[in-house]
Amino acid sequence: MLKNDTRRMRATDIAVALGLLTRLPVRSDGARGAQAGWAWPLAGAVVAFFATAAGWIAYHLGLPEGFAAALTLMLLIVQTGAMHEDGLADCADGFWGGWSTGRRLEIMKDSRIGAYGVIALAISLIARWSLLVTLLQAQILWGPVIAAAAISRVPMLMLMRYLPSARSGGLSERTGVPDQETVVMASALALLVALVATGFVALLAALAVAATAFGFSKVALSKIGGQTGDVLGAVQQMSEITALAIFAAILA
């Protein structure tokens, strides 16, 4: 990361965010690292836009709601390289498969997946798919999915800022620690996107996501003493499910 680059926002930060959080073909050297974190909600919104567009088209071509929801979910995952899902599975395996901090971190680093990870992924996929079906049935897929994608990227920055790194040399540590102004800007941007997409229900979704992230941060501290890239992926998944659930319950 460029230590002497103190500018809060740069246009190229969007490419940095997309390069870090997605598999979309963008050119980025990633030099600004966590300083580009203000743009993470935009990266989430871009991923959600393409995924939702495909699902919406499929639905209006007459394909079943379940298939359109599955297509949306698949593209949400493919565009990020399943990095967040991988983090969720690793955390589930490590947090509940190990009896000590060292062993939990060791399990989380293992590329193999265990029973806890499989169960966590299955629950996550079923939850998101069912919520997407509900939103499709209510004809309101666009706004909630984009809003949830934007809001759910903020807790990753918050945990990077306020929790110590639990492992040296990981992706989270290499990306750096965002300063408070970056976290505030990302939060404001995510809330703006969500308000435009869903109206004032976005405020309730944001509060629910904040509560979810706070609760999970306590679990992470208890289990491994801080955060890792896997923890960030897991909190994004749980935050996205929380936001989608609020939107489905109130708007659908």
pLDDT tens across 154-170, in order? 999 999 999 999 987 76
Residue 6 lies in a domain: no
Kindly report the average pLDDT of the chain as a whole number.
Answer: 93
Q: How many CB atoms lie within 10 A of CB 207?
A: 12
Residue 7 lies in a domain: no
Residue 139 above 60 pLDDT? yes
Residue 195 above 80 pLDDT? yes
**Token digits of residue 62:** 């007459």
- Spatial separation of the C-alpha atoms in residues 135 and 129, rounded to whole Å: 10
Residue 123 lies in a domain: yes
Residue 227 lies in a domain: yes
Residue 8 lies in a domain: no
Residue 216 lies in a domain: yes
Domain hosting 145: range is: 13-251
Give pTM, 2 decimals.
0.94
Residue 5 lies in a domain: no
Domain count, the chain: 1
User: For 35-48, how does the pLDDT look when each residue is reduced to its tens digit (9 = 90+)?
Assistant: 889 999 999 999 99
Residue 4 lies in a domain: no
Q: Who has greater pLDDT, 173 or 213?
A: 213
